[in-house]
């Protein structure tokens, strides 16, 4: 968010949208007030009753129609997202596949859980023990500018599949994409008011936290803290997907051509505006220069600032980010790093761009190695082997993602297990976010909870335990008989004994001391 979270805004009536590649105005939407947010949540709460009562089969049928809508309107999606967010159309179009898989994952899960999950009644013999997962009501979303379409759709799917209504505050930089998302769900047949958008700044986000039954926030750690603090007032559960400073460890046996290509893709995808993009590279000393030469050859081929749709890196979607790029670059150079490529903003066609920036001679105390840069940066630091690389990689307040590059898959996977990060890829980066069966989220300042995989579904449900007992349960009730303590001890041995003999002893204790009718 550009404005401090929860602060009141000026009473502007419209929020304008601009193309970051050329500054052209694309359109405008109505700004919401705090009262508008309250009204939207109230309407969502009313609509949720009918959405939940519709039943899991009909709900899932409608959501699965969304897959067809995404396929049929892919070209439109690419055009709208590209124009308002700056990325090449191929990127949002390619992300419709993971969105379809997300729908399949959560509709199947919703159906599987609809009749409850039977669990063991333990020593309550003859009883039935079941767990039910029920919708909590209205899920609120406060989402960022870097992936406004993919996250705007994906994060709402589990809540909708579980029977909740949703209200989303898109980034103020992408209101038209938010309106597109609402229209897509409407096209799929989702009833009125089940999916709503409210546009605005910090006051709108704060009001949504106050009103919703559960919150999903994606953004910076600083704002994430404020979301959690505000949600604590009403004990509203939150899931936070926050920033990262992802490390890439290059092992001595890595294929340098393949690794260089993967590192460039992992840093420059979406012009580097990716929370789990590579931000730090640790490589053996004797590989730094040959690796850098290959990287320089590749970044020189990337197309940027090209008019039309045929390009690789779009503009900086959020202009204030350039100040961070400049500060981190200046800090690295002042502390001894060598700038090998890029490092300065470009003004092209009325938009602002940042070229792939390659630096060598990096050290751990440089700001770029400690803080999130969130751009197309390849800072390379020389290390003496895997253990030093691992130590530096784990020396971070973040813990979102990481990657290992090696020909020895077993060694790479072993190293992955030792990295303190929510997602680790071996011989790839970034794209685990597209494997929707995997949880996604991080440790420490990278977030709380997971926003992908089956785990995401359980953030949007209330867990209810239902236990049905036969009349024999009265044997456990007061008043206690003379042999009750021996029966209790015997039951413990029967169910939890360490050996067959101990369990048989428990059977005898129960039989000899059980209450008589």
241: annotated active-site residue: yes
Distance CA 297, CA 261 (A): 10
| Phi/psi at 491 (5° precision) | -65, -40
What is the residue-wise DSSP string for 310-335? --SB---SSTTHHHHHHHHHHHHHHT
Contact 405, 251 (CB under 8 A): yes
Contact assessment for residue 266 and residue 379, using Cβ atoms and an 8 Å cutoff: no
DSSP 46-110: HHHHHHHHT-HHHHHHHHHHHHHHHHHTHHHHHHHHHHHH-S-THHHHHTHHHHHHHHHHHHHHH
Q: How many whole angstroms separate alpha carbon 217 and alpha carbon 210?
A: 13
Burial of 394 per CB tally in 10 Å (0-12, 13-18, 19+): middle
The active-site residue, picked from 216, 275, 445, 454, is 275
* Angle in degrees, CA 451, 457, 461, rounded to 5: 125
C-alpha span between 159 and 142 (Å, rounded)? 14
Give the span between the Cα atoms of 427 and 263, in whole angstroms: 9
CB atoms inside a 10 Å sphere around CB 476: 15
**Strand order from edge to edge, sheet including 401-405:** 338-341, 357-360, 377-383, 278-284, 246-250, 401-405, 423-426
275 is catalytic: yes
Q: Say if CB 5 and CB 227 are below 8 A apart.
A: yes
DSSP state letter for 491: H
Distance CA 421, CA 442 (A): 6
**Which of 241, 279, 445, 454 does the annotation list as catalytic?**
241
Residue with tokens 């840069």: 373
DSSP state of 516: P
Q: What span, in angstroms and rounded, lies between the C-alpha atoms of 192 and 466?
A: 33
Q: What is the DSSP letter of 251?
A: P
Cα dihedral 18, 91, 181, 439 sign: negative
Sheet holding 117-119: strands in order across?
A: 117-119, 128-135, 461-468
Which residues does 49 contact at the CB level (< 8 Å), separation at least 6?
none
End-to-end Cα spacing for the chain: 69
User: Other C-beta atoms within 10 Å of 188: how many?
Assistant: 19
Name the residues annotated as catalytic: 241, 275
């Amino acid at each position: 968010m550009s404005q401090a979270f929860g602060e009141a805004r000026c009473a502007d009536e419209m929020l304008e949208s601009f193309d970051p590649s050329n500054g052209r105005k694309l359109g405008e939407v109505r700004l919401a007030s705090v009262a508008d947010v309250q009204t939207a949540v109230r309407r969502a709460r009313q609509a949720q009753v009918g959405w939940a009562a519709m039943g899991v089969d009909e709900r899932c049928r409608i959501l699965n129609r969304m897959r067809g809508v995404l396929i049929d309107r892919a070209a439109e999606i690419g055009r709208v997202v590209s124009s308002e967010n700056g990325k090449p159309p191929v990127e949002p179009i390619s992300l419709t596949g993971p969105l379809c898989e997300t729908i399949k994952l959560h509709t199947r899960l919703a159906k599987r859980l609809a009749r409850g999950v039977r669990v063991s009644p333990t020593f309550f013999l003859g009883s039935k023990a079941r767990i039910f997962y029920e919708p909590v009501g209205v899920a609120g979303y406060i989402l960022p500018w870097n992936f406004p379409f993919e996250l705007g759709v994906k994060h709402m799917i589990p809540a909708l599949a579980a029977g909740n209504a949703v209200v989303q505050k898109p980034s103020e930089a992408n209101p038209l994409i938010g309106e597109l998302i609402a229209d897509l769900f409407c096209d799929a047949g989702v009833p009125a008011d089940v999916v709503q958008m409210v546009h605005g700044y910090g006051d709108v986000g704060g009001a949504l936290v106050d009103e919703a039954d559960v919150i999903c926030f994606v953004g910076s750690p600083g704002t994430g803290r404020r979301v959690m603090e505000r949600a604590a007032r009403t004990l509203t559960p939150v899931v936070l997907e926050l920033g990262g400073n992802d490390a890439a460890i290059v092992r001595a046996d890595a294929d340098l051509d393949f690794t260089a290509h993967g590192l460039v893709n992992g840093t420059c995808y979406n012009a580097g505006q990716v929370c789990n993009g590579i931000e730090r590279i640790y490589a053996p000393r004797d590989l730094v220069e040959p690796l850098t030469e290959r990287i320089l050859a590749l970044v020189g081929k990337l197309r940027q600032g090209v008019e039309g749709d045929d390009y690789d890196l779009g503009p900086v979607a959020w202009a204030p980010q350039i100040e961070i790029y400049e500060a981190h670059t200046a800090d690295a150079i002042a502390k001894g790093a060598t700038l090998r490529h890029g490092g300065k903003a470009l003004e092209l066609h009325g938009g602002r761009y940042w070229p792939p920036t390659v630096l060598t001679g990096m050290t751990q105390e440089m700001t770029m190695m400690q803080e999130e840069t969130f751009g197309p940066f390849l800072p390379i630091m020389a290390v003496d082997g895997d253990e030093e690389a691992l130590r530096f990689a784990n020396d971070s307040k973040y813990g979102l993602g990481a990657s290992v590059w090696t020909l020895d898959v077993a060694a790479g996977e072993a190293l992955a297990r030792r990295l303190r990060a929510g997602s680790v890829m071996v011989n790839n980066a970034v794209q685990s976010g597209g494997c929707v069966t995997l949880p996604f989220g991080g440790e420490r300042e990278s977030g709380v909870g997971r926003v992908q995989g089956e785990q995401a579904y359980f953030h949007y449900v209330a867990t209810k335990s239902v236990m049905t007992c036969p009349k024999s349960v009265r044997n456990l009730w007061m008043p206690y008989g003379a042999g009750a303590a021996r029966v209790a001890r015997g039951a413990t041995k029967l169910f939890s004994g360490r050996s067959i003999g101990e369990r048989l002893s428990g059977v005898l204790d129960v039989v000899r001391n059980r209450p008589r009718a």
